[in-house]
Amino acid sequence: MHTVIRSPTLPLDTALAVSLSAGVAISLLGQAAFRAILWIGPTAAHLTVALLSVALVPVGVLTSGMVQLGVIAVALVSLAAVLQLKRLPRPARE
């Protein structure tokens, strides 16, 4: 994270790009496991974004750490939006 803030336009080393994506993925896997164990909600969206996060390692290596961080942030905001939409009541059918 310090490297991304210090030099946002430089490509990341592979190890740094992996650690950035892996940290997000491990957190999401933990949340999915927690939700599955307690049966408190769906886990597919968490697992999908965790997999996407790991798939974004080349983005940080080929472009920059800030781009990788931005794409991960968009994925996390999308996850939050999907979970919020699933909470909304469905309209009654006539």
Where does residue 75 fall: left (phi above 0), alpha (psi -120 to 50 degrees), or beta otherwise? alpha
Q: What is the pLDDT of residue 65?
A: 87
Residue 92 included in any domain: no
Question: Whats the size of the chain, residue-wise?
Answer: 94
Residue 69 included in any domain: yes
Q: What is the pTM of this model?
A: 0.83
Residue 44 included in any domain: yes
Residue 54 included in any domain: yes
Q: For residue range 17-51, what is the model confidence (pLDDT) as tens digits?
A: 999 999 999 999 999 999 999 988 778 999 999 99
Residue 58 included in any domain: yes
d(CA 22, CA 81): 22
- Domain of residue 70: give its range: 2-87
* Higher-pLDDT residue of 9, 73: 73
* Tally of domains within the chain: 1
Q: What is the pLDDT of residue 24?
A: 95
Residue 19 included in any domain: yes
